[in-house]
């Protein structure tokens, strides 16, 4: 019965206990997609037989082959790659997918949605801009895919990636980030281990005030005329406007977006281009 719900096979490639990287090989060849977009994963419900529990996941990318030192083109791989972390199910919440994903072993069957979508891409970012990527935990998935594309195409300026995690957190892609920095002098990646996001916000505000400090930390000044920012992961760090009714939005006072917009950056929406792209995970 469950077999009819599956359409792909999973391979476990990294297991950090609280996070995993899997590659998913669909039964049918992959469709076209853009770096930064998201698809979906699903496993059969244990409560409602015959139904799938599905969630959206950004397409990730290992960026560089650690053996050959070649950059990876995610369009050309037969698999999709995903990076997810352990989320504790809420006691009275809906049936969650996380425990099922952490029981997966290589060779197990899985559902992988054929629809790949999203506006978090490099499509409309002018060539020559410096790119700042900020992510929380597995929010680096989409950023890694975008960074792999940007470095392969070489159309943009310097690239800086800030990985934000709690104290003790390590990215499962640490070896790839290190190898990429050695191979590509325009790429810089740094992990910020913080107790609260206020520390990241303060650093961002300081970087906007002090061009020399930003040059030193990121490799370029945070100038909206010459740089573009990508934010992915926890909505509390992103600080995106929240929809309240058809056309009314409330802008939070916390997070990166209010700080960046005060410094002259502008938010990209579905209807207008800007200098900040974002993808929130919940």
- Shortest Å, Cβ 46 to ligand FAD: 13
CA–CA separation, 262 and 264 (whole Å): 6
Report the half-sphere exposure of 231 (CA within 13 A, side-chain side): 25
Which residues pair with residue 173 across a beta bridge? none
DSSP string, 176-227: HHHHHHHH-TTEEEEEEE-SSTHHHHHHHHHHHH-HHHHHHHHSS---TTTE
Q: Which of 10, 74, 81, 85: binder of ligand FAD (CB under 6 A)?
A: 85
Question: Is 84 a binder of ligand FAD (CB under 6 A)?
Answer: yes
What character string, x for contact with ligand FAD (CB under 6 A) and - otherwise, covers 8-47? ------------------------------x---------
CA–CA separation, 104 and 58 (whole Å): 18
Q: Which of these ranges, 52-60, 194-202, 237-245, 266-274, lies near ligand FAD under the rule CB under 6 A?
A: 52-60
Q: Which of 7, 75, 98, 191: binder of ligand FAD (CB under 6 A)?
A: 98
Question: Is 227 a binder of ligand FAD (CB under 6 A)?
Answer: no
CA–CA separation, 242 and 181 (whole Å): 36
Question: Is 80 a binder of ligand FAD (CB under 6 A)?
Answer: no
Which residues pair with residue 39 across a beta bridge? 57
How many residues touch ligand FAD under the rule CB under 6 A: the total is 20
- State the residues that interact with ligand FAD by CB under 6 A: 38, 55-58, 83-85, 87, 93-94, 96-98, 137-138, 141, 279, 281-282
């Amino acid at each position: 019965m469950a077999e009819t719900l599956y359409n792909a096979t999973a391979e476990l490639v990294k297991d950090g206990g609280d996070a995993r990287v899997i590659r998913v090989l669909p039964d049918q060849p992959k469709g076209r997609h853009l770096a930064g977009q998201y698809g979906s994963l699903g496993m059969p419900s244990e409560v409602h037989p015959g139904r799938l529990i599905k969630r959206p996941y950004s397409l990730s990318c290992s960026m560089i082959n650690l053996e050959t030192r070649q950059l990876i083109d995610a369009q050309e791989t037969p698999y999709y790659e995903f990076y997810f972390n352990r989320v504790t199910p809420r006691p009275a919440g809906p049936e969650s997918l996380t425990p099922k994903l952490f029981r997966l072993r290589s060779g197990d069957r899985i559902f992988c949605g054929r629809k790949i979508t999203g506006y978090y891409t490099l499509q409309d970012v002018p060539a020559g801009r410096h790119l700042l990527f900020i992510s929380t935990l597995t929010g680096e998935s989409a950023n890694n895919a975008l960074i792999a594309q940007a470095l392969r195409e070489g159309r943009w300026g310097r690239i800086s990636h800030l990985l934000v995690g709690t104290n003790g957190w390590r990215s499962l892609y640490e070896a790839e980030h290190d190898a990429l920095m050695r191979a590509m002098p325009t790429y810089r990646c740094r992990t910020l281990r913080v107790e609260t996001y206020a520390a990241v916000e303060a650093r961002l505000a300081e970087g906007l005030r002090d061009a020399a400090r930003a040059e030193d930390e990121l490799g370029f000044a945070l100038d909206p005329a010459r740089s573009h920012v990508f934010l992915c992961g926890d909505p509390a760090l992103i600080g995106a406007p929240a929809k309240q009714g058809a056309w009314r939005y409330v802008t939070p006072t916390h997070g990166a977006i209010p700080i960046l917009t005060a410094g002259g950056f502008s938010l990209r929406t579905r209807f207008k281009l800007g200098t900040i792209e974002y993808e929130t995970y919940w």
